[in-house]
Protein backbone atom coordinates (compact mmCIF):
# COMPACT_ATOMS: atom_id res chain seq x y z
CA UNK A 1 0.00 0.00 0.00
CA UNK A 2 1.28 3.42 -0.94
CA UNK A 3 1.59 5.85 1.96
CA UNK A 4 2.42 9.53 1.68
CA UNK A 5 3.08 11.68 4.74
CA UNK A 6 3.36 15.45 4.46
CA UNK A 7 4.93 17.74 7.03
CA UNK A 8 6.22 21.27 7.43
CA UNK A 9 3.03 23.31 7.33
CA UNK A 10 2.37 26.20 9.66
CA UNK A 11 1.70 29.89 10.02
CA UNK A 12 3.87 32.29 8.04
CA UNK A 13 3.71 36.00 7.33
CA UNK A 14 3.16 37.36 3.82
CA UNK A 15 6.44 37.47 1.96
CA UNK A 16 7.86 34.66 4.06
CA UNK A 17 9.10 31.20 3.14
CA UNK A 18 8.23 27.65 4.12
CA UNK A 19 9.41 24.21 3.05
CA UNK A 20 7.06 21.26 2.94
CA UNK A 21 8.16 17.63 2.88
CA UNK A 22 6.45 14.48 1.68
CA UNK A 23 7.85 11.06 2.52
CA UNK A 24 6.62 8.07 0.55
CA UNK A 25 6.53 4.33 1.16
CA UNK A 26 5.10 1.35 -0.69
CA UNK A 27 6.10 2.45 -4.19
CA UNK A 28 9.22 2.41 -6.40
CA UNK A 29 10.10 5.96 -5.45
CA UNK A 30 13.08 6.31 -7.77
CA UNK A 31 10.76 5.89 -10.77
CA UNK A 32 7.86 7.84 -9.32
CA UNK A 33 6.49 11.09 -10.67
CA UNK A 34 5.19 13.13 -7.76
CA UNK A 35 3.01 16.18 -7.45
CA UNK A 36 1.65 18.80 -5.04
CA UNK A 37 -2.01 19.78 -5.07
CA UNK A 38 -3.56 22.36 -2.76
CA UNK A 39 -7.02 23.18 -1.50
CA UNK A 40 -7.86 26.58 -0.07
CA UNK A 41 -10.43 26.54 2.75
CA UNK A 42 -13.90 25.77 1.42
CA UNK A 43 -12.77 25.59 -2.19
CA UNK A 44 -11.75 23.02 -4.77
CA UNK A 45 -8.52 21.34 -5.73
CA UNK A 46 -5.72 23.24 -7.46
CA UNK A 47 -2.65 21.66 -9.00
CA UNK A 48 0.59 23.25 -7.79
CA UNK A 49 3.36 21.41 -9.58
CA UNK A 50 5.01 18.14 -10.53
CA UNK A 51 8.45 16.56 -10.46
CA UNK A 52 9.37 13.68 -12.74
CA UNK A 53 11.79 10.91 -11.84
CA UNK A 54 15.56 11.35 -12.01
CA UNK A 55 15.80 9.56 -15.33
CA UNK A 56 13.24 11.85 -16.96
CA UNK A 57 15.31 13.81 -15.71
CA UNK A 58 13.69 15.38 -12.63
CA UNK A 59 11.83 17.81 -14.86
CA UNK A 60 9.56 20.12 -12.91
CA UNK A 61 6.42 21.93 -14.02
CA UNK A 62 4.39 24.50 -12.11
CA UNK A 63 1.00 26.11 -12.20
CA UNK A 64 1.02 29.74 -13.27
CA UNK A 65 0.09 31.20 -9.83
CA UNK A 66 3.19 29.70 -8.17
CA UNK A 67 5.71 29.65 -11.00
CA UNK A 68 8.87 31.52 -10.01
CA UNK A 69 8.01 31.39 -6.29
CA UNK A 70 7.70 27.66 -5.58
CA UNK A 71 10.28 24.94 -6.25
CA UNK A 72 9.82 21.19 -6.08
CA UNK A 73 12.81 18.94 -5.47
CA UNK A 74 13.40 15.34 -4.47
CA UNK A 75 15.82 13.22 -2.47
CA UNK A 76 15.49 9.64 -3.66
CA UNK A 77 17.75 8.40 -0.84
CA UNK A 78 15.05 9.54 1.61
CA UNK A 79 11.98 8.74 -0.54
CA UNK A 80 11.06 12.38 -0.05
CA UNK A 81 9.96 15.32 -2.15
CA UNK A 82 9.99 18.93 -1.05
CA UNK A 83 8.04 22.06 -1.85
CA UNK A 84 10.02 25.23 -1.21
CA UNK A 85 7.61 28.13 -1.06
CA UNK A 86 9.00 31.67 -1.22
CA UNK A 87 7.36 35.09 -1.38
CA UNK A 88 4.23 33.63 0.12
CA UNK A 89 0.93 35.43 -0.41
CA UNK A 90 -2.29 35.32 1.58
CA UNK A 91 -3.90 33.47 -1.31
CA UNK A 92 -1.39 30.62 -0.85
CA UNK A 93 -3.23 29.66 2.34
CA UNK A 94 -4.38 26.09 1.78
CA UNK A 95 -4.11 22.44 2.70
CA UNK A 96 -1.23 21.09 0.63
CA UNK A 97 -1.49 17.48 -0.54
CA UNK A 98 1.34 15.36 -1.85
CA UNK A 99 0.34 12.89 -4.53
CA UNK A 100 1.83 10.05 -6.54
CA UNK A 101 1.21 10.13 -10.28
CA UNK A 102 0.49 6.46 -10.96
CA UNK A 103 0.10 7.35 -14.62
CA UNK A 104 1.20 10.44 -16.51
CA UNK A 105 -2.26 11.94 -16.20
CA UNK A 106 -3.70 10.86 -12.84
CA UNK A 107 -3.06 11.12 -9.10
CA UNK A 108 -3.23 7.59 -7.74
CA UNK A 109 -2.37 8.11 -4.08
CA UNK A 110 -2.67 11.09 -1.78
CA UNK A 111 -1.33 12.09 1.60
CA UNK A 112 -3.54 13.61 4.28
CA UNK A 113 -2.20 17.09 3.68
CA UNK A 114 -0.37 19.76 5.65
CA UNK A 115 -1.93 23.14 6.34
CA UNK A 116 -0.19 26.35 5.33
CA UNK A 117 -1.60 29.61 6.64
CA UNK A 118 -0.26 32.90 5.32
CA UNK A 119 -1.35 35.73 7.55
CA UNK A 120 -0.02 38.82 9.28
Partner 1 sequence: QSALTQPASVSGSPGQSITISCTGTTSDVGNYNVVSWYQQHPGKAPKLMIYEGSKRPSGVSNRFSGSQSDNTATLTISGLQAEDEADYYCCSYAGNFVFGIGTKVTVL
For 69, 99, 108, 111, the CA distances from 2, given in Å and listed in that order, are 29, 10, 9, 9
Asked if 36 contacts 45 with a C-beta cutoff of 8 angstroms, the reply is no
Which of the stretches 21-29, 74-82, 86-94, 107-115 binds partner 1 when contact is defined by CB under 8 A?
107-115
| Residue 77 makes contact with partner 1 by CB under 8 A | no
User: Smallest gap, in angstroms, from Cβ of residue 4 to partner 1?
Assistant: 9
Contacting residue, 53, 72, 97, 118, with partner 1 by CB under 8 A: 97
Q: How many residues bind partner 1 (CB under 8 A)?
A: 22
| Residue 45 makes contact with partner 1 by CB under 8 A | yes
Asked if 6 contacts 21 with a C-beta cutoff of 8 angstroms, the reply is yes
User: Smallest gap, in angstroms, from Cβ of residue 95 to partner 1?
Assistant: 9
CA atoms 89, 16, 73, 117: torsion sign: negative
CA–CA gap between residue 83 and residue 74 (Å, rounded): 9
Which is closer to partner 1, CB of 35 or CB of 80?
35
CA–CA gap between residue 5 and residue 85 (Å, rounded): 18
| Residue 35 makes contact with partner 1 by CB under 8 A | yes
Contact residues for partner 1, defined by CB under 8 A: 35, 37, 44-47, 50, 61, 63, 97, 102-113
Amino acid sequence: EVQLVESGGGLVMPGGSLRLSCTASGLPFNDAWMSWVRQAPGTGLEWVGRIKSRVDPETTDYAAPVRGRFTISRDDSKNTIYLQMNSLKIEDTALYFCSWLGTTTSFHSWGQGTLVTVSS
